[in-house]
Amino acid sequence: MSKLILTRHGQSTWNAENRFTGWVDINLSDIGKKEAKKSGELLKKINIKIDICYTSFLKRAIETLTIILESINLDLKFNAAWQLNERHYGSLTGLNKEETKQKIGDELFKKYRRSWDVAPPPMAKDSDHQSNFSPLNSGIPKNKLPFTESLKSTYERVVPFYDSEIKKNLYLGKNILISAHGNSLRALCKYLFKISDTKINELEIPTGNPLVIEFDDKLKIIKYFYLDNSRAKNIIFNQ
């Protein structure tokens, strides 16, 4: 029996400012660091042996994972993958969410944020934000670099990576920890829990609260739970 532990990074400085972040490489806020430490403390309490770790190219996820590993006194090399990056928000990147909603209207705002297959307008190729992306991005094939993404686009990079790199280790009985982002984890949960295109907009992934998914030897989900039940969000299964 193997376990997959999904952790959304702690609050970033742009989260605190209510800005669309996407691929911009932003640091954790002080609150975010405390959330990451809390995640580690929650994992330490249940004494799960972590065998393999994955994270994205973005330092807010990398720092979250680093703090978690320090909290559980585990010196473990982790694997960074661009496929686990946050969704690219295109031309919305850097904008204040509330101001954007007032400008474009509630209906379009909801489509950009929560629909399955509607992407915001693309980011300009000469945008200043391009220089604020992770330096690790230099290793991404140019034909794979997005300028905007829908959740569907994000799913189309997250799930193949899971299938090719992560699933084989779960089959071997390994316990795997992933530190990633709200939308990359939503995409993965859509796949794992068989959530429909119309229901996925209802799924919320809380920060600083690890989700533990237990599998049988055929990778059928047999149990799933958040470690902090007081801040748990509803998991939609097969809807």
**118-152 pLDDT, tens per residue?**
999 999 988 999 889 999 999 999 899 999 999 99
Residue count of the chain: 239
What pLDDT was estimated at residue 237? 75
Average pLDDT estimate for 204-215? 93
What pLDDT was estimated at residue 17? 96
Q: State the average pLDDT for the chain.
A: 94
Residue 87 lies in a domain: yes
- Among the listed ranges 108-117, 164-173, 228-237, which one has the minimum average pLDDT value? 228-237
Alpha-helical segments (H) within the chain: 13-16, 30-46, 59-71, 97-104, 106-114, 151-161, 167-171, 182-192
What pLDDT was estimated at residue 235? 84
Contact 86, 21 (CB under 8 A): yes
pTM of model > 0.85:
yes
For 214-237, write each residue's pLDDT tens digit: 999 999 999 999 999 888 888 877
**Percent of the residues in the chain that have a pLDDT greater than 70, as a whole number:** 99
Q: Which domain holds residue 173?
A: 2-231
Per-residue pLDDT for 208 more than 90?
Answer: no
Per-residue pLDDT for 238 more than 80?
Answer: no
9 catalytic, yes or no? yes
Residue 75 lies in a domain: yes
Tell which residue, 65, 100, 102, has the closest CA to residue 80. 65
Residue 238 lies in a domain: no
What's the CATH number where 150 sits? Answer: 3.40.50.1240
Determine which one of 9, 63, 149, 181 is catalytic.
9
Residue 50 lies in a domain: yes
Determine which one of 86, 88, 149, 181 is catalytic.
86
Residue 237 lies in a domain: no
Per-residue pLDDT for 74 more than 70?
Answer: yes
DSSP H/E element including 221? strand 221-226
Residue 200 lies in a domain: yes
181 catalytic, yes or no? no
Tell which residue, 4, 1, 33, 2, has the closest CA to residue 189. 4
Residue 182 lies in a domain: yes
- Among the listed ranges 22-26, 33-37, 136-140, which one has the minimum average pLDDT value? 136-140
Predicted confidence band of residue 110 (pLDDT cuts 50, 70, 90)? very high
Split into its structural domains, the chain has a count of 1
Residue 136 lies in a domain: yes
